[in-house]
Structure 1
Amino acid sequence: MYPNTPNPSNSGQNPFMIQKEDEIDLKVLLFNYLQYWVLILACMFIGVLGAFLFNRYATNIFKVESSILVVDDKPSLGTDLFESSGLGMLQGKSNIENEIGIIKSFSLAEEAVTELNLNVQYYKEGFVSTSQIYEKLPIHVTVDWNQSQLVGGKFRLEVLNEDSFELSIENDEFRIFNPKDPYYKILPEDETTLSKSVYSFGEEIQGENFTFTINQIAALPGDIVLFNLVDTPSLALKYREELAVAPINKQASILSLSLETPVRRLGEDYINKLMEMYLARELDEKNRASENTVRFINEQLSGISDSLRFSENKLQQYRTENKVFNLSEEGSVVFERLQELEKEKGEAEIKLKYYKVLKDYLASDQSGEMMAPSVMGVTDPLLNSLVQAYSELQADQVRLSANFTDINPSVRENATRVQNIKKQLQENVSSALGNTENLITDLNGQIRMLEVDINSLPETERNLIGIQRQFTINENIYVYLLQKKAEAEITKAANMPKNSILDFAKSGQLPVAPKRSLNLLIGLILGLILPIGFITIKDFLNTKIEDPKELENQIKVPLIGMIGRNNSEDNIPVMNNPRSSVTESFRSLRADMSYLSPHRDNLTILFTSSISGEGKTFVSINVASVYALMGKKTLLIGLDLRKPKIAEDFGLVNDKGMSTCLSSDISWRDVVKPTGHKDMDVILSGPIPPNPAELLLQDKFGEIIKEIKAEYDVVIFDCPPVGLVSETKELFGFADISFFVFRQGYSMKGNSQILNNLVEKGGVSKIYGILNDVHIDKGYGYGYGYGYGYGYGNNSYGYHEEVQLPWWKRALRRK
C-alpha cells in the first residue's frame, strides 16, 4: 500500500467498480449522424442532381419486339414407335430450344447484317454526347471490304461546300480488319494518319490499311458527321449478344424476339431481316430434298434420252425398209403383255437405283437433304417416315453444330438420335433392295416365257416386236421420269416454311432506359448512404475519444463530469469569466465532490492524465479557483517536476517551489506564492531537478503534505501524466479523491486502459474520470454535464455569457 494511503474502510471501496455491458443507444446513434445534417442534405442534393443530369443527357434506349410461331414437329408413322418405346432409340426433340439456338446463331446474324449493309455507322454531335444516325443520312461511305480496313476508330467529317469536305481522325482506337482472316483483328503498328485533310466528294480516300469513298447526299456546308467502319463479324457478334429470344411462357410454342437499341428503326429493320433470313433458311432446307430429287432424275434422263432417240430411229428405219407398220392380232396380244412387264421392270429398276443411291448415301455419312421416297414411287410408309425423320434430324444437327460445340448436350443428344434412326433406315433399305431384286428376277422370268411365244411368229414380225419393244421400254421409263421430275418441281414450288411470323418488329413508344424514376431514387439513396458510410468509417477508424457515452462504457470507473471547451484565451475562466458555461461545469464538479467525499472538512484532490496536453493543469487551476470563490482556503501544488506549466497561467516566475523544498532545508511556507485571487495560493513545481521521482518518494514529502492539510481547507495536486512517468502512482495515496483527465478529440481511446489498469492492478480507489474540452456533440442530451450535470451550453436560454474567439482562432484551435 502506498504511504499515507487512507484506510479502505474509511475511504470506502469504490462502489463504481462494476462491469458495464456494451449497448447501442439508437437515439445517440441517430443524433451522431444528425450533427452532419448539412453534409447529408448536400450529398443527397448532389446525388439527385447527378441523376437528373444523367437522365437529361443519357441516350434513350428503346425495346424492339417481335414474335414467331414455332410449329412443333409431329411424329411421322414409324418414328412415334421409336419415341414411345423404352429402347430410347429416338427420343422427342426439344424443338423450341433448337429454334432458339438457330435464331441466335452467329451465321444467321451475319446473313442479316450483310443484307442490311450496316458496316458504316454515322453519328452527329450533341451538346454532351453523340447520337447515331440511321435514316436520312447526309453522306454515304462506300467501303471496299475485299481489302484491309481500319475498324473501331472514328473519322470526323466537316462539310466545306457542296463539293469538298475536311476529314480528320476523331478517335484513334483502330484495329485492322483483314478479309482473309475476318475473325481476328490486329493493332496498327503506327499511328493512323491521312495523306491530306481536304477531299472531294466521290474521291477515293486511300491510306495504309483503309480504302473508301464518301458521296454527298444531303449534307450542308458546316455540317459535322462522325462515322466509323465496323466489320460484319463484329456486328454479327454484337447483335447476337444483344438479341433476346425466349418463349412467351412455358407451355407456348411462340418465341418472343427483343432487342434494346438507341435507334428504333435500326432495331426494327434488323429483327425483321433476321426473321426473314430465318424463314428463308428453313425453306432452303426443305427445297434441298426436291432439288436432290430433280438432280437424280436429270441424271437418269440424260442416259435414257439417248437410248430412246436411238431406238426410235431404228424402229422408223425398219418399218420403212420392210414396209411393216402393224403387228398381227397374235403379235399385238403378246406385245401388249410384254410391254406391261417391261414397264413394271423399268419402274422396279428405277427404284433399285434409288435404293442403291440411298444406301451409298447412308454409308458415306453425307450431310444433305435426301430424296423423298414417295417422289420416286416408293409407297412404303415406314421407309418414307424414316427418311423424313432422318433428313430433319440431319438438318438440325447441321444447324446445332454451327452454333455449339460437339460436347454440347443438345448436339450430343441429337447425334444419338441420328445414329439410332440411321441404323433402322439402313436395315429397311437393305430389305427393300432384296425385295426389289426379287421382283426384277420374277419379271425377267415372265418376260422370258413371253419371248418363247414371240419366237413362233414370222421373222419380220418378230424383228419388229424386238425393235418396238426396246423403243417402248425407253419411252415408258422416259415418261415415268418426266412425271416424277414434274412432281418434284411442284413439291418444291409448294414448299412453305413450317414456322411463321406472328408480329413484325415494333418499337415501344417510351424508352426502357434510362429509368428516370429509379435513377432519381438511386441518386437520392446514394446521396444518403455515401455520407453516412463516410461518417461511419471515419468514426470507426477514429482512435480519439469523442463520444462521452463511449468513454463511459470503456472505463471501469464513473465519468464524473465533463468540462466544456474554453472559448477565451484566458486559462482561468472561473476567476475571469464567472458566467461562462465552462465555469458552470467546474461548479457542477465542485458540487459532486460533496457526494464523493462527504463529511470532510479538509479535502485533497489529485489530477492526472495519460499524456501531456489533455488539460489536467487547466482543470487543476480552475477547480482550485472554484473552491477559492466559495471561501475555502485553497492551495494548488504543482507536482509536475518535469514539465511545469502553472507559473505561466498566473504570471509568476518558477524560481522556487516544491523541488526547492524537497532538495534543501527551505520550508514549504517560504515557497508558497499568492495567485492574486482571494483564498488561493500556489506552490509551483520549482526548478526542474535531475531526479524528480526520487524527490517525491522521500518521507519529507509526506510530512510537508501533512502540514499543508492542517493549514488549508482544500489542497489540489497537479500531477504529471501517469501514462508517462512513474512517480504519479505514488501520489494517489496522499489524495482523498483522484481524477483522471481525458480530452475530447485529443486523448486516444486506448488511454482508457491506463485508468482501468490503475484500478484493477494498481489498487487505486476513489478515482474518477473527467472529460475535458467537450465541444463535439456526439448525441442527444449530453451537453456539458452529461449524466451528472444540467447540460449548460451555448444554447441554454441565456444562463451564461460565452466569450467567442475570432473565427480564424477557432479554426486554428479545431486543427
Structure 2
Amino acid sequence: MAAPYQGGFLDMHMVEKAFVALLNHKAWVIGSILACLSIGLVVTFLMTPLYTSTSRIEISPQAPVETDVKGAREKTISNEIAFFNTQYSLLESRSLAARTVRAGNLLNDKEFLAHYDLTGGEEGTPNSAQRTRMAERAEKILLDAVSIEPVRQSSLVDVSFATPSPALSAKLTNLWVQQFVAANLDRRFAATSDARRFLEQRISSLRRNLEDSERELITYAANNDIITLESRGDPASGRSVGDRTLIAADVEKISTALSNARDARIAAESQLSSSVSSADSSSNASVSALRQRRAELTAELARLTTTFGEEYPEVLAKRQQLAALSQSVVTETQRSRALNQESYASALKRERELQSELDRLTGKYRDQQRRSIEYAILQREVDTNRQLYDGLLQRYKEIGAAGVGTNNIAVVDMAAPSQVPSSPKLILNIVLALIAGFGIAAAIVFMFEQLDQSIRDPSEVSDRFGLPLLGSIPQVDSEEFETLLLDKKSMVYEAYFTAQTNLTFLTSHGAPRSFMLTSTRPAEGKSSSALSLASVFSQTEKRVILIDADIRSPSLNELLDIKNGAGLSNYLTGFDNVGELIAKSPEFGFDYMLAGPMPPNAAELFSSSRLGELIELLLRDYDHVILDAPPVLGLADASLLARPVEGVIFTIDASSSSSRAIKSALNRLRQTDAHIFGALVTKVGRRNEIYGYGYGYGYGYGYGYGADKNRNSDD
C-alpha cells in the first residue's frame, strides 16, 4: 500500500512544481498562447476555401475472373501489403497525373485555367515548349491536390481532390480514378501470348545448359580435390562471390594457433630475460615474500646490534635467521629461473612446429589456388545459367498469373460536387493554435526553469554540493528580524534553534566549540546567521562570544547599531589586553568582539599565529567562539580563518543562481583542508515552499537586514 501512496505523492508534487513554474512565467505563457491563437485566426481567415470531392474504388489482389493455375501464386500477408502499397504509390504517380491532364484536356479547360495559372507569366499563344511546361505545372497541381486514403481493414480506397471549385473537384476526381483503371488494363495487356511461347523455348534451352555446367563443375572439383565447406553468394546478383575450402579453413586454424604460440613464446622469453638480467627482481610471490622478510629481519638486526652489541644472543640468532633467509632467496630464485627456461623452451618448440605446419599448408593452398582459376570460371558459368533460368521461369509464372482482358480494380462510388468547403476549419485551427501555444509556452517555461540554478529546495544542497543541510532560514523583513529572533515562538527562532540542534550532532563533544560562518559572496545572510546562532546558543545557558572577522567590511557593529571601535584587528597587530576588546550585548545575551580598524594587510594578519592564540585564549572562558568570516571568492581571508577553528558553516542564499561559484568557493576551502560542517540555506521564501520545502507559518516578509540602507547589512 506504501508504493501507490508514494507514487501519488510524487505525481502531486510534480504537478505543483509545474503549476508554480507556469505562475512564475505567466506573462510568457499568456503571450505565447495569445500569439499562436492570433496567428491561427489570421491564417484561417486568409486561407482560400477548398471543396473536396471523393470517389471510392475497390482494389482486389486477384482478378474477378480466375484464370491462373491454382497455387501458382502464394498469397501471404506480406505479399498483400506490398501489393496494396504499390497500388497506393501508383495512385499518386506522375504518369497517372500526365494521363489525367491529357484525357481531361486540362490545358484548354476554362474552369481549370480560371483557378490555376499555368502560363507562369508568359504571354501570347503558347508554343510546344511552353505547352510542355504548362503540362508539367498542371501535373504538379494535380499531385498537390490529390489525396489517397485507404479504408482500414478493407480493399477500398478513397481518392479525393480539393480545389476552390466544387464542380472542378468532382471532375478531377472522376478523371483520376478512370485513368487509373485504364492504366491498370494497359499494363495487363502488355503480357502477350507470343511472349509466353518465346519464354517456353528459352527456358527449355537454359535448363539443359544449367545441367551441363553444374555437372562439369562437380567433375572438375572431384578430380582436383577441391572440397568446398562454405559458398557465399551475392543476394543482389545471385552469383557466388567466394568459396571457403577445407585447406583454407586449416590455414586459418593453424595461423590462429601460431599467433597464440608466438605470443606465449614472447611472454616466456620476456619472463626469462627479466629473471636473468636482474638478480634483484622477483619473479614470483614466494621470492617477493622472502625478500620482504629478509629486509624486515635486516632492519631488526641493525636495531638490536645498535642497542645490545654484536655478541648479544638474540643478535646472533637473528644473524643466523638472516643467513638462512638469504640462502632461501637464492634457492627460490634459481628454481624460478629454471621454470622460466623450461616454459620458454616449450613455447619455442610449439611455435616452430606450428610454423612448419603452416608452411606446408600454405604451399598446398597456393597450389589449390592455381587450380581454382578454372574452377571459378566453371562456377561463374553455372551462376550465369542459373540466374537466366530463374529469371525467365519467374517471368513465365507472372505471365500465367496475370490473365488477359481482366481487371481487379472497380469504381464503387463516383465523386459528386461538395456543398460546403472542407477547409479552412475554424474550430480545428483554433484547437491547433491553442495546442501550439501551450507547447511553445511549455518549452519557454522549461527553458527558463533549466536556466534557473537557484536553490529551489534546501535539501538540494546535499546532491548539488555534497554538504549536509544544517538548517533552512525563512525569508523575513529586516524590520521584523530582531523581534522574531528574540521571540521563541517565531519561525526565525525555530529555524536557528533547529540549526543549533543539528550542530550538537557534528562532533563527539557536541556542538563545535569554535567555528566560523562564510559564504560565496556578500549579502547571503552569513553575518545575520552568525549573530542569530550566537543568540540562540546564549539562550541555552552557554557562554558565547561572536567575533566580527570580516575586518575589510565589518557588519556586526551595524547589526548591533553601534560604532565600530577597537576589535580583532587591534589584537592581531599586537594589542594584548583582550578584555578591553570584548563587550556584552544585553539585548541578545552574548559577548562580542568587533572587527576594529581596517588594516592595510588583512591577509598577513590572518596568516600569523595570533588568531589561533586568541581562539585558544577565549575557549578557556567561553563555551563557543563564533567567527563571522568574509566571503570566499575574491579574498584569501576565509581560507586563512578556517585553519584555527574546528570547522566551517557555509551559508547559501536560496535565491542564488550561480551553482558554479558556490562549487568554486567550496573547492577553495577544501584545498586548505578546512572542515566544512554543512550548509545553512538562507532567504527561503514562498517560492521554495511551493517547491516542497517551507514553514507554512503565514509569514511572507522580505529578507535583508537593512538591504535598503547599505550593502553590508545583509552580509
Class of the TM-score when normalised by the shorter of the 2 chains: 0.5 to 0.7
State the distance in 1 between where 2:459 and 2:158 align. Answer: 62
Are 2:632 and 1:722 aligned? Answer: yes
Task: Determine if contact 1:62/1:510 at 8 Å carries over to the other structure.
Answer: yes
Are 2:52 and 1:63 aligned? Answer: yes
State the distance in 1 between where 2:137 and 2:569 align. Answer: 89
Deviation per residue, 1:321-373 (Å, 9 max, x gap) = xxxxxxxxxxxxxxxxxxxxxxxxxxxxxxxxxxxxxxxxxxxxxxxx9xxxx
Partner of residue 109, structure 2: 116
Task: Determine if contact 1:106/1:236 at 8 Å carries over to the other structure.
Answer: yes
Question: Aligned match of 1:266 in 168, 171, 174?
Answer: 168
Partner of residue 635, structure 1: 545
Question: Aligned match of 1:538 in 448, 464, 467?
Answer: 448
Q: CA deviation at 1:259?
A: 1.5
Are 2:171 and 1:182 aligned? Answer: no
TM-score by length of 2: 0.53
Task: Determine if contact 2:534/2:546 at 8 Å carries over to the other structure.
Answer: yes
Task: Determine if contact 2:516/2:642 at 8 Å carries over to the other structure.
Answer: yes
- CA change 1:668–1:522 in 2 (3 A) is farther
Task: Determine if contact 1:636/1:683 at 8 Å carries over to the other structure.
Answer: yes
Question: Aligned match of 2:559 in 646, 649, 656?
Answer: 649
Partner of residue 32, structure 1: 17
State the distance in 1 between where 2:568 and 2:158 align. Answer: 96
Deviation per residue, 1:236-274 (Å, 9 max, x gap) = 32113322468879996x875322345433311333455
Q: CA deviation at 1:623?
A: 2.3
Task: Determine if contact 1:571/1:618 at 8 Å carries over to the other structure.
Answer: no
Q: Secondary structure at the match of 2:416?
A: strand
Partner of residue 213, structure 2: none
Deviation per residue, 1:81-100 (Å, 9 max, x gap) = 9xx99xxxxxxx99979985
Q: Secondary structure at the match of 1:660?
A: helix
Task: Determine if contact 1:736/1:766 at 8 Å carries over to the other structure.
Answer: no
Task: Determine if contact 2:547/2:593 at 8 Å carries over to the other structure.
Answer: yes
- CA change 1:573–1:624 in 2 (3 A) is farther
- CA change 1:42–1:771 in 2 (3 A) is same
Question: Aligned match of 1:243 in 143, 146, 151?
Answer: 146
TM-score by length of 1: 0.47
State the distance in 1 between where 2:511 and 2:95 align. Answer: 100
Are 2:517 and 1:589 aligned? Answer: no
State the distance in 2 between where 1:744 and 1:637 align. Answer: 25
Are 2:457 and 1:547 aligned? Answer: yes
State the distance in 2 between where 1:502 and 1:601 align. Answer: 90
Alignment of 1:350-499 (within 5 A): none
Partner of residue 615, structure 1: 525
Q: CA deviation at 1:30?
A: 3.8
State the distance in 1 between where 2:629 and 2:687 align. Answer: 29
Q: Which of the two has greater helix per residue?
A: 2
Task: Determine if contact 1:614/1:772 at 8 Å carries over to the other structure.
Answer: yes
Deviation per residue, 1:581-626 (Å, 9 max, x gap) = 3343223323434444686699433111233332211211222233
Task: Find the structure with the greater CA-based Rg.
Answer: 1
Question: Aligned match of 2:121 in 126, 132, 150?
Answer: 150
Task: Determine if contact 2:147/2:160 at 8 Å carries over to the other structure.
Answer: yes
State the distance in 1 between where 2:421 and 2:432 align. Answer: 18
Task: Determine if contact 1:610/1:723 at 8 Å carries over to the other structure.
Answer: yes
Partner of residue 140, structure 1: none
State the distance in 2 between where 1:804 and 1:614 align. Answer: 10
Q: CA deviation at 1:701?
A: 2.4
State the distance in 2 between where 1:119 and 1:781 align. Answer: 63
Task: Determine if contact 1:638/1:646 at 8 Å carries over to the other structure.
Answer: yes
Task: Letter of the 1:270 partner, please give it.
Answer: L
State the distance in 2 between where 1:712 and 1:692 align. Answer: 26
Q: CA deviation at 1:772?
A: 1.2
Partner of residue 597, structure 2: 687
Q: Secondary structure at the match of 2:687?
A: coil
Task: Letter of the 1:616 partner, please give it.
Answer: K
State the distance in 2 between where 1:115 and 1:276 align. Answer: 20
- CA change 1:625–1:245 in 2 (3 A) is closer
Are 2:641 and 1:731 aligned? Answer: yes
Q: CA deviation at 1:741?
A: 0.8
Task: Letter of the 2:101 partner, please give it.
Answer: A
State the distance in 1 between where 2:135 and 2:88 align. Answer: 26
Alignment of 1:299-338 (within 5 A): none
Deviation per residue, 1:16-44 (Å, 9 max, x gap) = xxxxxxxx966654432232354578589
Deviation per residue, 1:444-488 (Å, 9 max, x gap) = xxxxxxxxxxxxxxxxxxxxxxxxxxxxxxxxxxxxxxxxxxxxx
Partner of residue 672, structure 1: 582
Q: Secondary structure at the match of 2:575?
A: coil
State the distance in 2 between where 1:728 and 1:747 align. Answer: 22
Task: Letter of the 1:105 partner, please give it.
Answer: A
State the distance in 2 between where 1:520 and 1:584 align. Answer: 53
Task: Determine if contact 1:44/1:523 at 8 Å carries over to the other structure.
Answer: no
Partner of residue 96, structure 2: 104
Q: CA deviation at 1:653?
A: 3.4
Task: Letter of the 2:170 partner, please give it.
Answer: E
State the distance in 1 between where 2:170 and 2:593 align. Answer: 95
State the distance in 1 between where 2:468 and 2:147 align. Answer: 68
State the distance in 1 between where 2:683 and 2:148 align. Answer: 68
State the distance in 2 between where 1:74 and 1:759 align. Answer: 86
Question: Aligned match of 2:612 in 674, 687, 702?
Answer: 702
Q: CA deviation at 1:634?
A: 3.7
Partner of residue 257, structure 2: none
State the distance in 1 between where 2:124 and 2:474 align. Answer: 72
Task: Letter of the 2:518 partner, please give it.
Answer: T
Q: Which of the two has greater strand per residue?
A: 1
Task: Letter of the 1:672 partner, please give it.
Answer: I
- CA change 1:623–1:232 in 2 (3 A) is same
State the distance in 2 between where 1:569 and 1:667 align. Answer: 36
- CA change 1:577–1:522 in 2 (3 A) is farther
Q: CA deviation at 1:561?
A: 0.3
In structure 2, runs of 5+ residues without a counterpart are 1-8, 74-82, 198-390, 397-406
In structure 1, runs of 5+ residues without a counterpart are 1-23, 86-92, 123-131, 133-142, 152-174, 186-230, 286-368, 370-380, 387-415, 422-496, 785-790, 796-800
Q: Secondary structure at the match of 1:608?
A: strand
- CA change 1:498–1:519 in 2 (3 A) is closer
Task: Letter of the 2:55 partner, please give it.
Answer: S
Q: CA deviation at 1:773?
A: 1.3
Partner of residue 355, structure 2: none
- CA change 1:770–1:280 in 2 (3 A) is closer
Task: Determine if contact 1:672/1:683 at 8 Å carries over to the other structure.
Answer: yes
Segment of structure 1 superposing worse, 61-70 or 651-660: 61-70
Q: Secondary structure at the match of 2:651?
A: strand
